[in-house]
Amino acid sequence: MRLIKQLLAVAAVAFAGGQAVSAVAGNALLTLTLGLLTAVLAVLVYAWVVRRTEHRAPTEVARAGAARRIVRGMLIGTGMAAAVVLNIALLGDYRVDGFGSITGALGLFGFMAAAAVSEELLFRGVLFRVIEERTGTWIALLLTGAAFGLAHLFNPDATLWGAISIAIEAGFMLAACYAATRNLWVPIGLHFGWNLALGAVFGAVVSGNGESKGLLESTLSGSALATGGDFGPEASLYAVGAGAALTLVFLWLARRRGNLVPRRRRADGARPTATVSR
């Protein structure tokens, strides 16, 4: 029941905010403002519903150290995006045609902030965390990673391969990031940095959602396995490889810190329970 309540509460904010942002998509300042407002409101609602349903402090979104952790995640996400685009460029499949739009990039900043925060709260803050308590880290990572990939099948230029790529490079990686850090700020920053760099800086398609009006006007051409085709670089083998590598790093850190949750069965046959080192 608490899983449903938490999902509904955060999803309601995400939906309302998403509708508002879409309604003012032509106005960069309003898009930026409403996007940031949606992100903040989503965190506040998440914290409130966790307190109400679990009767505990929502330490995974504690304000202490939040900015530092978000920046850390953004640096990882931005670095990953830059490495992927650079590898595509070295093949001659990514070309910068000129400068794009500063106002467009500002609008994308707000849109990406709302998307990154809402998706991390839903998929890692609620789904992964609650499922992990019952099944352990490994099963929760596989289930929620697959769900995250499937959710992207509804995007305009989505493909099955694109959804599989998202599951591997983002669904698994971001769940592993949460397992390693036991806070949502680093995954939020990583998610935001990746999307922002791809769309608002490099001007690439993000998750099959059409062309992005970022700081650079760019063209992707060549093999879809290298560039990701209409879905964008997230369906590139470079992105899948980078995401898989980071997943392994985060899981190694989680194991080293004692943060991997095993599946445990009680002797009386009750459902599995688990404890987490935070």
pLDDT tens track of the chain, all 278 residues?
778 888 899 999 999 998 998 888 888 899 999 999 999 999 999 999 999 999 999 999 999 999 999 999 999 999 999 999 999 999 999 999 999 889 989 999 999 999 999 999 999 999 999 999 999 999 999 999 999 999 999 888 889 999 999 999 999 999 999 999 999 999 999 999 999 999 999 999 898 777 778 899 999 998 999 999 999 999 999 999 999 999 999 999 999 999 999 986 544 444 444 434 34
Q: State if pTM tops 0.85.
A: yes
Task: Supply the range of the domain harboring residue 155.
Answer: 2-256
The total of other beta-carbon atoms located within 10 Å of residue 274's CB is 16
For residue 61, what is the DSSP state? G
Domain count, the chain: 1
- Does a structural domain hold residue 273? no
- Does a structural domain hold residue 155? yes
- Does a structural domain hold residue 266? no
- Does a structural domain hold residue 25? yes
- Taking Cα atoms as reference points, which of 114, 89, 81, 115 lies closest to residue 197? 81
What pLDDT, on the 0 to 100 scale, is given for residue 274?
41
- Taking Cα atoms as reference points, which of 50, 47, 49, 22 lies closest to residue 34? 22
- Does a structural domain hold residue 85? yes
| Residue-wise burial string across 128-153, b where 16 or more C-beta atoms lie within 10 A, e elsewhere | bbbbbbbbbbeebbbbbbbbbbbbbe
Rounded-to-integer distance, Cα 170 and Cα 59, Å: 23
Q: How many CA atoms are closer than 13 Å to the CA of 74, on its beta-carbon side?
A: 14
Rounded-to-integer distance, Cα 39 and Cα 34, Å: 9
What pLDDT, on the 0 to 100 scale, is given for residue 169?
95
Structure tokens belonging to residue 144: 């929620």
On whether the CB atoms of residues 38 and 18 are closer than 8 A, the answer is yes
- Does a structural domain hold residue 58? yes
Under DSSP, is residue 94 helix (H, G, I), strand (E, B) or coil?
strand
The total of other beta-carbon atoms located within 10 Å of residue 241's CB is 15
Structure tokens belonging to residue 76: 């990882």
Q: What is the rounded end-to-end Cα distance, in angstroms, of the chain? A: 24
- Does a structural domain hold residue 268? no
What pLDDT, on the 0 to 100 scale, is given for residue 254?
97
Under DSSP, is residue 83 helix (H, G, I), strand (E, B) or coil?
helix
Structure tokens belonging to residue 278: 């935070």
- Does a structural domain hold residue 267? no
On whether the CB atoms of residues 40 and 121 are closer than 8 A, the answer is no
